[in-house]
């Protein structure tokens, strides 16, 4: 049941921030930090942050 959410209308402000796109996996990635050392992976990675929702991801080089 966790995956099925009742449809809710989002506020206009939220739509304008583009979170609808983010929720569909279309993030606007922007580089946040160049070449930080990821301890877990033991190597240098680039950190990206979505300018709309603030989600972060690491990219291996
Ligand atoms: Zn996003």
pLDDT digits (tens, 9 = 90+) for 8-30: 676 666 556 568 899 999 999 99
Ligand 1 mean position, distance from CA 16 (Å):
13
pLDDT score at 19: 81
Residue 45 lies in a domain: yes
Report yes or no on 58 lying in a domain.
yes
Q: Is residue 44 part of a domain?
A: yes
pLDDT at residue 11, as a whole number: 66
Indicate the number of domains in the chain.
1
Is residue 54 scored above 90 in pLDDT?
yes
**Ligand 1 center from residue 51 Cα (angstroms):** 7
Return the ∠ at Cα 53 (arms to 58 and 36), rounded to 5°.
Answer: 25
Say whether pTM exceeds 0.85.
Answer: no
The Cα-based distances of 33 to 18, 25, 49, 56 in angstroms read: 23, 21, 9, 11
Structural domain includes residue 23: no
- For residue 18, tell me if it sits in a domain: no
Q: Is the pLDDT reported for residue 41 higher than 70?
A: yes
Q: How far is the CA of 43 from the centre of ligand 1 (A)?
A: 25
List the domain range (segments joined by +) for residue 53: 28-61
Mean predicted lDDT score pLDDT of the chain: 81
């Amino acid at each position: 049941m966790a995956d099925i959410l009742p449809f809710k209308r989002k506020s206009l402000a939220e739509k304008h921030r583009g979170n609808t796109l983010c929720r569909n996996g279309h993030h606007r990635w922007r580089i946040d930090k160049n070449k930080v050392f990821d301890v877990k992976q033991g190597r240098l990675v680039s950190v990206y942050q979505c300018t709309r929702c603030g989600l972060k991801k690491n990219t291996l080089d």
